[in-house]
Amino acid sequence: MTYSNNQRIQPAETEVDFQNYTELPNNSPLIIVDLDLRIVYCNESFKTTFNLDAGDDVSAMNSNPEFVYLVKGFHESRYKNISVDVTLSNDSDALVKNYFVRIERVFIKLNQYFVLSIESLEQRNKLENKITSLHNALDHGKLPLMILDEFRKVSYVSKSFEVVLSKEIENIYNKDLLEIIGDHLTPKESEELLLALINKQVWKKLVCFHKKYPVEYWEFILNPVFEVDRQSPNYILIASNLTEHINQARVIERSEKKQKLIIDNISDLLLIVERVGSSALFDNANDNFCKIFGLDKNKISLMKIEDFIPEELSGEIYNSINQLTAHRDSYSEFNYKHVDMREYNCKITSVPEKEKVSSLFIITMKDITEEILYSQQLKKAYHKEMQLNKMKSDFLANMSHEIRTPFNAVVGFSEIIDESIESHDLEMVRELMTSMKEVLGRALNLFTNIIEVSQIESGEVELDNVDLNCNHVVRNIHEKFLQDAHKNTLEFIIDLTEESCVIEVDWVKYEKIVHSLVDNAIKYTNEGYVYIGTKSHNGVVELTISDTGVGIEPSQIERLLKPFTQEIEGYTRPFEGAGLGLTIAYKLTILMGGKFDIVSEKNKGTKITVSFPLSV
């Protein structure tokens, strides 16, 4: 409760007609009372909440005697204003709510009135809870963050920022930014910060905290935040700890300098050159390098490298140095064949020298002549790597939509679940959880197919062959997809031969083949039928899946047997899927020694025949 003393105010002589004034929207109840405790004005919120109107007496609020006593007591007091929490009820219902009431004594045309503003504590508590939750989230995340108002005064600072600055909140809050961090900046850096604030620009600086041990390095980033209805922005200051990164960089720099002292102990050929202008000058080399090229280090000091090594090698070195300088790469590689038919793999690394206007470049030359003898193995490994890279490229090009869609759905479901939990709508939560499980199930099936294709492509699939009656598998798949076919109003025909259909295959992988082909047939058939049948003749067991679906252009069949492809690509394609089902079925069939044939015509349907030798 807050009080302010003032001299007793004398009653006024004239009155004001408040009915001539237009009321603005107001969510909080508000009334104006004269000295007789008669309501001379009230807004719509007060009328709705307490069922009183202008002209009524405050004493009419029989259900709220504390409120009446408060107004009467203030009337008789010598205070200018008062603020207090009061519990009020509404005569129209049984609700009892807590309110924050503020009473001000005002003069209007020499008349004395009491202005009462009534604010729901429930709304205030909700706002305070939101602010508290945000504050806790920032502290829990340990993000050093500071918010400045339009006058560059600190209006918020996270606990982790207090730790960074080694200052308590009372030494930060409502202080000017330069006053807080100025002692960690040089005069020039302080001027740059002030100029950025004046010009309402972004400011970024690496700040060193020498007062801490060990020394810490923090990157400060100040961003202005403009609001639509305000010309002056607020500011957000974020700090990132770069201490470990900088220390590691210094360790690497010291390590590179030490290499110069031990180069003669390196078995590979090693040359160090210094880039001065457009020339590369000799700085040092180990004994192995000098022996191969017949050099005397004392006679070639600071000479251009093209004056003492073959033109082909010096040219490659210059090209690599230019590439490193232009693109700021960490290293460059090339191969060089010497006159004695020895081949070397050369690697160039740049070592900037801060105290010089030049840069050092370290060239190591590894003799790979013996490794050339294994060129076939290397080509095979390279081809395998290219296949994996191609698979990755195809995956990124064609799978982004299929992977992102289910997880976007999960994010959306989770947000709705949060809202449903807050509203205690458990039925909606159950429905959303069911939908989420279905989405995750599709995503899991997608990842399973991706892994299986990757294993097939890399040759890592192991087969566990058994004698299998394929009719059992076909019958189980038919029962599994029967309901899906009926949902699509399709006739699902099964025709199994009574002859022996035992084949030697991996049971799980054969079932995967049948599952993928039937799933595709139902997915791409809008009307008509899907047929699945078996027959045995000439020592071969054939499985046939045919449909009256959309079909495939004959020219596209070979391409569709590759992973992550569909006949129509992109986000606008009419069917969902990753383009893996047909690929898996085809590759598993070939892997197990079977035959895979496709006959298809656009808009008429597709017929796929999978054949395996009859087991003897």
- How many other CB atoms sit within 10 Å of the CB of residue 80? 16
Q: Does some domain include residue 605?
A: yes
Q: Are residues 476 and 544 in the same domain?
A: yes
| pLDDT at residue 48, as a whole number | 81
The three-class DSSP label of residue 438 is: helix
Q: What percent of the chain has pLDDT over 70?
A: 81
Domain closes at, from 120, 152, 175: 120
Q: Are residues 437 and 501 in the same domain?
A: no
Q: Which of 8-12, 200-204, 404-408, 409-413 has the lowest mean pLDDT?
A: 8-12
Q: Residue 329 carries which side chain, given as an amino acid letter?
A: D
| pLDDT at residue 594, as a whole number | 92
- pLDDT tens for 140-164 read 657 788 888 888 898 888 888 888 8
CATH of the domain at 116: 3.30.450.20
Q: Are residues 496 and 602 in the same domain?
A: yes
CATH of the domain at 426: 1.10.287
- Residues present in the chain in total: 616
Q: Does some domain include residue 434?
A: yes
Greater confidence, 471 or 387?
Answer: 471
| pLDDT at residue 49, as a whole number | 79
- Specify the residue for token string 């976007």: 408
| pLDDT at residue 251, as a whole number | 82
Greater confidence, 399 or 605?
Answer: 605
Report the pLDDT averaged over residues 248-272: 76
* Of 543, 471, 466, the residue nearest 500 (C-alpha): 471
Q: Are residues 108 and 175 in the same domain?
A: no
| pLDDT at residue 256, as a whole number | 66
Report the pLDDT averaged over residues 351-359: 65
Greater confidence, 507 or 257?
Answer: 507
* Of 608, 606, 610, the residue nearest 592 (C-alpha): 610
Q: Are residues 392 and 496 in the same domain?
A: no
Q: Are residues 380 and 408 in the same domain?
A: yes
| pLDDT at residue 504, as a whole number | 92
pTM for the whole structure: 0.35
User: Residues 239, 260: contact at Cβ < 8 Å?
Assistant: no
Q: Is the pLDDT of residue 566 over 60?
A: no
User: Residues 264, 285: contact at Cβ < 8 Å?
Assistant: no
Q: What percent of the chain has pLDDT over 90?
A: 18
Q: Are residues 237 and 287 in the same domain?
A: no
Report the pLDDT averaged over residues 548-558: 83
Q: Are residues 449 and 395 in the same domain?
A: yes
CB < 8 Å & 24+ apart, contacts of 606-610? 606/521, 606/524, 606/546, 606/547, 606/549, 606/551, 606/552, 607/544, 607/545, 607/546, 608/517, 608/544, 608/545, 608/546, 609/542, 609/543, 609/544, 610/513, 610/517, 610/542, 610/543, 610/544, 610/545, 610/585
Q: Is the pLDDT of residue 410 over 80?
A: no
Structural domain of 490: 465-613
Q: Are residues 432 and 475 in the same domain?
A: no
User: Residues 530, 485: contact at Cβ < 8 Å?
Assistant: yes
Q: Which of 21-25, 237-241, 276-280, 607-611 has the lowest mean pLDDT?
A: 21-25
Greater confidence, 467 or 160?
Answer: 467
Q: Are residues 102 and 155 in the same domain?
A: no
If one counts the domains in the chain, the total is 5
Q: How confident is the model at residue 529 (pLDDT cuts 50, 70, 90)?
A: very high
Report the pLDDT averaged over residues 488-503: 91
Query: Average pLDDT of the chain?
Result: 80
